[in-house]
Amino acid sequence: MAERFIHILPEQVASQIAAGEVVERPASAVKELVENSLDAGSRSIAVEIERGGLGLISVVDDGCGMGREDAILSVRRHATSKIRGASDLVAIRTLGFRGEALASIASVSHLALKTRRPEDPGGVELLLSGGDIQEERACAIAAGTRIEARDLFFNTPARLKFMKSEAAEKSAVAEVIQRLALANHSISFTLTADGRELLSLTRASNSLERIRQVFGPKLAAAMLPFEASRPGIRVSGFAITSQESFASARMIFAFVNGRWVRDKMLARAIAQAYETTIPRGRHPAVFLFVEIRHEDVDVNVHPMKTEVRFRNPGALFEVVYHALRERLADQTSRRESRPSLSGGSAPAASGSALEPDTAGAAQGASAVAAQSEAPRPPEATAYRPTGDTVDAVDRPLRLVADSPSATFASQRPLNLGYANRPELDSPRERAIPVYSELRILGQVFAGYIALEDEDGILLVDQHAAHERVTFEKLRAEFKNGGIQVQAMLAPVTVELNPARASAVQASLSELHAIGFDVEPFGPATLVLKGVPAVFAAEGGARLLSDMIDGMGESGFRPGRDGAFEDLLKQMACHGSVRVGRALEEREMRELLAQLDRTEFKTNCPHGRPVHIRFARGQIERMFRR
């Protein structure tokens, strides 16, 4: 019974551990305590805070508990059961490994620790103040551990002064719990703040269900599952369709071996995968789970354990990038491959899955349980009189206004910063249409092709559509050996602005690379002999001038990452049919057919939507039918 698992790390091992401030704010103490509960094999974890955690942090788990001697050791520095020697540091399998957290929390609070192992008849309770054990006694407690830290930073007034508002600390705590909950979908979590339940997450059977519990059914319904692996690496997760995007990167979550991390490389892989599918400066929602050999990742880098170092970051980048990229290129099949949480085949019945989202953080659990059975109705979007469909033409996205709506705020107990959550529309609206199979009604405003299906009317932006088609053709050619050039019947001369002529002359090789067969003809003149074959030859000189006009002061800056892609985008934009040009039905048909053969067809290369939809129900509601 008195068997001990915890031991003090030898000094030279302790000194190899990334040291630093472990507990800088209540949220970091909560993170450490909950990670301990997870390491202890708990199935259910209850967190309670008062005054943003400054008054009280309490974490109760049903994990393995500790015997008396271990409990006493656990609050000492460098006391851990998780590693023994320096060699264990190369393959850390637990969330904790330093033996620092409990001691750090104890040293800045009044701490009460109660714990009992399942096999022990009774538990033990320790009371500490500023890190010193004041009292030890036997206690009755369910198997598991309960830790209460009161008056955080009571003995470090300087630290206390740097705390943000209690509300800010509270939402930081909630974010910590969300991340831990997303990484551990099969464990139930509750979070209570000042007596109010903020999160109540029952055990979920997969991470999509957990995402739904945390962020609501609308977000979950817009998620595409993805997965890829190569020896030693497996990545999986959920990525939002390119129809939606966010103003911040806050909805991007990356987990490595169950640990939430901030990682620039992973962030870059995600951002690049979404490049050209969502507008610049916008961000997707992605839940990325990386499983990698423990030997290939170093978590002993940062005192908060939120940064990691990969042995082969390049390989992981590739896997993540391609997994997402391929998924985004093929968004249509998501229904088949998605775990059948909300079922796709059942007939339309209740509209619950798409009711205005009141599930929020707090009521998640019960609402979700009900929703997981509910079939998805084909069309249930409420008409929003804010006119967002009308001006969506020049606004890139369908998002709720960037301020929290009044109803939203009042229904949600805590603003976690997700006030800008997307108002996702009905499944039909999110589904990717097969444009060429829809009936053409005609051209509107000489810029939009009007299409009809049984559920509504679509307007296709002819410029955005053509731009995407052209861009993908150029990009494919560029990858497969170079842009195809079509020789002009008669070469034409192009006069250059003398002030910029030398910069242009210096960029001839870039112009060649993007398909212009040009030669200098005097100091401020070029002769154009061939143009990219994708474009009609008669527009070639004009296109060349446009490209030159768009050139920066230092030429095309070919050294910059992605510069060629930018050039191709520019060229696709300049060379594509403009709004304002009347199209014959034959041309519309051809454009739609080409569009259907194109990857990422629902957005132009700058990320703007290719079509907007007016649902039949929406139109009928406008007529008050």
Ligand X SMILES: Nc1ncnc2c1ncn2[C@@H]1O[C@H](COP(=O)(O)OP(=O)(O)OP(=O)(O)O)[C@@H](O)[C@H]1O
- Quick check: 101 binds Mg ion (CB under 5 A)? yes
C-alpha separations of 134 from 129, 138, 169, 299, 590 in Å: 7, 14, 29, 34, 82
Between residues 82 and 234, which has the closer beta carbon with respect to ligand X?
82
Residue 342 contact among ligand X, Mg ion, none, beta carbon within 5 to 8 Å by kind? none
| Residues near 22 by beta carbon (within 8 Å), at least 6 away in sequence | 28, 32, 98, 100, 101, 104, 105, 303, 304
Cβ–Cβ < 8 Å for 202, 46: no
Cβ–Cβ < 8 Å for 14, 24: no
Structure tokens at 161: 């002064």
Contacting positions for ligand X (CB under 6 A): 6, 32, 36-37, 40, 61, 63-66, 74, 79-82, 96-103, 145
Q: Which residue is nearest to Mg ion (CB)?
A: 96
CB of 59 to ligand X, least distance (A): 7
Between residues 99 and 607, which has the closer beta carbon with respect to ligand X?
99
CB of 316 to ligand X, least distance (A): 24
- Quick check: 36 binds Mg ion (CB under 5 A)? yes
- Quick check: 531 binds Mg ion (CB under 5 A)? no
CB of 38 to Mg ion, least distance (A): 9
- 81 SS3 class: coil
**Which residue in 64, 6, 2 sits closest to 39, CA to CA?**
64
C-alpha separations of 597 from 433, 434, 469, 605 in Å: 12, 10, 8, 15
Between residues 102 and 483, which has the closer beta carbon with respect to ligand X?
102
Between residues 33 and 551, which has the closer beta carbon with respect to ligand X?
33
Residue 64 contact among Mg ion, ligand X, none, beta carbon within 5 to 8 Å by kind? ligand X
d(CA 294, CA 114): 32
Q: Which residue is nearest to ligand X (CB)?
A: 96
287: β partners: 238, 253
Contacts of 323-326 with CB under 8 Å at 24 or more apart are 323/226, 323/227, 323/228, 323/235, 324/226, 324/239, 324/269, 324/270, 324/273, 324/274, 324/286, 325/273, 326/226, 326/228
Between residues 94 and 507, which has the closer beta carbon with respect to ligand X?
94
Between residues 66 and 173, which has the closer beta carbon with respect to ligand X?
66
Residue 360 contact among ligand X, Mg ion, none, beta carbon within 5 to 8 Å by kind? none
Cβ–Cβ < 8 Å for 142, 62: yes
Between residues 65 and 96, which has the closer beta carbon with respect to Mg ion?
96
d(CA 416, CA 413): 9
CB of 195 to ligand X, least distance (A): 24
| Residue 562 region by backbone torsions, left for phi larger than 0, else alpha for psi between -120 and 50, else beta | left
Backbone angles phi, psi at 492, to 5 degrees: -125, 155
136: β partners: 126
Residue 97 contact among Mg ion, ligand X, none, beta carbon within 5 to 8 Å by kind? ligand X
CB of 196 to ligand X, least distance (A): 24
Between residues 32 and 425, which has the closer beta carbon with respect to ligand X?
32
Q: Which helix or strand (DSSP H or E) is residue 531 part of?
A: strand 525-532
Between residues 26 and 433, which has the closer beta carbon with respect to Mg ion?
26
d(CA 251, CA 235): 18
- The contact pattern for Mg ion, residues 317-336, with x = CB under 5 A and - = no contact, is --------------------
- Quick check: 99 binds Mg ion (CB under 5 A)? no
Structure tokens at 341: 């949480």
Residue 169 contact among Mg ion, ligand X, none, beta carbon within 5 to 8 Å by kind? none
Structure tokens at 99: 């033996």
CB of 96 to ligand X, least distance (A): 2
Residue 6 contact among ligand X, Mg ion, none, beta carbon within 5 to 8 Å by kind? ligand X
- Quick check: 598 binds Mg ion (CB under 5 A)? no
Which part of the chain contacts Mg ion (CB under 5 A), choosing from 30-38, 47-55, 199-207, 501-509? 30-38
Residue 223 contact among ligand X, Mg ion, none, beta carbon within 5 to 8 Å by kind? none
Between residues 40 and 365, which has the closer beta carbon with respect to ligand X?
40
Residues that bind Mg ion (CB under 5 A): 36, 96, 101
